[in-house]
């Protein structure tokens, strides 16, 4: 498929220019022209007042798509423990499978037999489990090699992983090897009623824009899914399923994990899985200020996040950074303290369920996304809040 301009109809009015996210439309000799930058997003189709922009189907568009059936989810484990996103993927996988017909299977590399059973209770009909020692720690080549092998053998229609450091690192290798598409960091998945294609919605341009991506002709359709946006499946302790043991005979690895070093202090900083995040910005004034946040996070049982300004000041390590160049988070509760709310910060946290903002400047943009806004001095408010929460929780 490609997009064309009917030069007879085009009046050169330039309306279409600003509709293009990719700067792909230029005006040449008084007429609009679509350049090679076009990504086929179709944004321009509807804006032309003359109806001069249209799409052209090619033979290739009609070609038979590869077959496959069933939804697979990659169940991530770290240190033998299943990552929460695995259960969310099973929930999402079930909903897709209901619309498509077919089974939901989980793939578990490393991890335990008990973990495999747990995946069944969370909604997997089948679990492909390889407990070979080389899968204990995450290593791209063996993970990619074995998953590609399994997909080639069993031909699922859809394969999902968490958009975590692990999923986002090795899924691209698998997709490249299988010559199929991969959509990164999806926040919503659905099935197109007509074509049965997977509709993959994801943020782009730092979250300012959402895009729906299709993988119409190749199978499987692959996506990584942002943690904490999909609802978990139903847990059923009596659910039965099948565990298929997998052997890893011909996987190679040219990289080696020498050592895994944990840097989590008392407070875990696995922000993407946190239910509650207490985040601070330049307004915290320094490391001492951040101590107030650690106190509150501890009282709440949450993690500490930060704006880039605070990270750049060296008050807290980069791994705590939330935003466009940090982590994207979606906790139940996000408390932003002394953060102005620059768009680069907002894109990383605005999908949180409830946002509380504490800022002394009533015009700070953070208030535009806050469920509850508190205009005041955080140095007064935070200690009181921590104390109050301890009281409530202690009771």
Ligand X SMILES: Cc1cc2nc3c(=O)[nH]c(=O)nc-3n(C[C@H](O)[C@H](O)[C@H](O)COP(=O)(O)OP(=O)(O)OC[C@H]3O[C@@H](n4cnc5c(N)ncnc54)[C@H](O)[C@@H]3O)c2cc1C
Stretch that binds another protein, among 5-13, 38-46, 235-243, 289-297 (CB under 8 A): 38-46
Q: Could you say whether residue 6 binds another protein (CB under 8 A)?
A: no
Residues lying near ligand X in the complex (CB under 6 A) are found at: 281-283, 307-310, 321-326, 338-340, 342, 344-345, 348, 358-361, 364, 377-379
Q: Could you say whether residue 69 binds another protein (CB under 8 A)?
A: no
Least spacing, CB of residue 156 vs another protein, in Å:
16
DSSP assignment letter at 229: T
CA 80 to CA 70: how far, in whole Å?
26
Least spacing, CB of residue 252 vs ligand X, in Å:
36
Q: Could you say whether residue 25 binds another protein (CB under 8 A)?
A: no
Answer whether 183's CB lies under 8 Å from 213's CB.
Answer: yes
Residues 300-359 that bind another protein (CB under 8 A): 300, 317-319, 324-325, 332-333, 342-344, 354-356
Least spacing, CB of residue 381 vs ligand X, in Å:
8
Whether omega before 220 lies within 30 degrees of 0, making that bond cis, reads yes
Answer whether 199's CB lies under 8 Å from 190's CB.
Answer: yes
Q: Nearer to ligand X by C-beta: 151 or 310?
A: 310
Q: Nearer to another protein by C-beta: 112 or 270?
A: 270
- The secondary structure element, H or E, covering residue 158 is strand 158-162
Q: Could you say whether residue 13 binds another protein (CB under 8 A)?
A: no
State the residue for tokens 């009181």.
384
Find which of another protein, ligand X, none residue 340 binds, CB within 5 to 8 Å per kind: ligand X
Q: Could you say whether residue 102 binds another protein (CB under 8 A)?
A: no
Q: Nearer to ligand X by C-beta: 21 or 365?
A: 365
Structure token digits, residue 311: 């990270």
* Angle of the 140-154 helix axis to the 165-178 helix axis, nearest 10: 50
27, 100, 204, 267: which one contacts another protein (CB under 8 A)?
204
Q: Nearer to ligand X by C-beta: 107 or 271?
A: 271
Pairing of strands 158-162, 71-75: parallel
Q: Nearer to another protein by C-beta: 240 or 254?
A: 254
DSSP assignment letter at 197: P
269, 278, 304, 337: which one contacts another protein (CB under 8 A)?
269
Neighbours of 87 (CB within 10 A): 24
Residues 6+ positions from 275 with CB-CB distance below 8 Å: 301, 302, 331, 332, 333
Structure token digits, residue 46: 């509807």
- The secondary structure element, H or E, covering residue 143 is helix 140-154
Tell me the per-residue interface mask from 145 to 184 with another protein, x by CB under 8 A, - otherwise. -------------------xx--xxxxxx-xxx-xxxxxx
Phi, psi of 128 (to 5 degrees): -90, 110
Stretch that binds another protein, among 35-43, 149-157, 231-239, 279-287 (CB under 8 A): 35-43
Answer whether 341's CB lies under 8 Å from 358's CB.
Answer: no
77, 86, 272, 279: which one contacts another protein (CB under 8 A)?
272
């Amino acid at each position: 498929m490609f997009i064309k301009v009917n030069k007879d109809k085009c009046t050169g009015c330039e309306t279409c220019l600003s509709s293009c996210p990719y700067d792909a439309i230029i005006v040449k000799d008084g007429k609009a022209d679509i350049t090679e930058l076009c990504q086929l997003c179709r944004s321009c189709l509807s804006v032309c007042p003359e109806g001069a922009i249209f799409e052209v189907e090619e033979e290739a568009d009609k070609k038979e798509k590869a077959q496959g059936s069933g939804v697979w989810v990659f169940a991530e484990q770290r240190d033998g423990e299943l990552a929460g996103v695995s259960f969310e993927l099973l929930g999402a996988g079930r909903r897709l499978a209901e619309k498509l017909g077919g089974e939901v299977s989980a793939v578990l590399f490393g991890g335990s037999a008990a973990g495999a059973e747990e995946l069944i209770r969370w909604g997997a009909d089948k679990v492909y489990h390889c407990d070979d020692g080389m899968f204990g720690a995450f290593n791209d080549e063996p993970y990619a090699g074995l998953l590609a092998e399994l997909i080639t053998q069993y031909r699922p229609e859809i394969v999902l992983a968490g958009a975590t450091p692990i999923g986002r690192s090795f899924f691209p290798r698998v997709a490249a090897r299988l010559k199929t598409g991969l959509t990164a960091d999806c926040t919503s998945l659905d099935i197109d009623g007509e074509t049965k294609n997977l509709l993959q919605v994801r943020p782009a341009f730092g979250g300012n824009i959402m895009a729906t991506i299709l993988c119409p002709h190749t199978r499987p359709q692959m996506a990584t899914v942002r943690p904490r946006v999909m609802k978990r499946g139903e847990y059923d302790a009596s659910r039965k399923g099948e565990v298929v043991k997998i052997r890893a005979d011909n996987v190679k690895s040219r990289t080696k994990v020498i050592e895994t070093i944990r840097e989590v202090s008392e407070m875990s900083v696995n922000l993407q899985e946190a239910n509650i995040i207490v985040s601070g910005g330049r307004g915290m004034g320094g490391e001492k200020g951040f101590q107030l946040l650690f106190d509150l996070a501890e009282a709440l049982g949450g993690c500490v996040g930060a704006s880039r300004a605070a990270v750049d000041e060296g008050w807290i390590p980069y791994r705590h950074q939330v935003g466009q160049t940090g982590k994207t988070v979606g906790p139940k509760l996000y408390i932003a303290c002394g953060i102005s709310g620059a768009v680069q910060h907002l894109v990383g946290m605005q999908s949180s369920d409830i946002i509380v903002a504490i800022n002394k400047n009533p015009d700070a943009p953070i208030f535009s996304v806050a469920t509850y806004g508190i205009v005041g001095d955080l140095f007064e408010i935070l200690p009181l809040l921590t104390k109050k929460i301890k009281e409530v929780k202690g009771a």
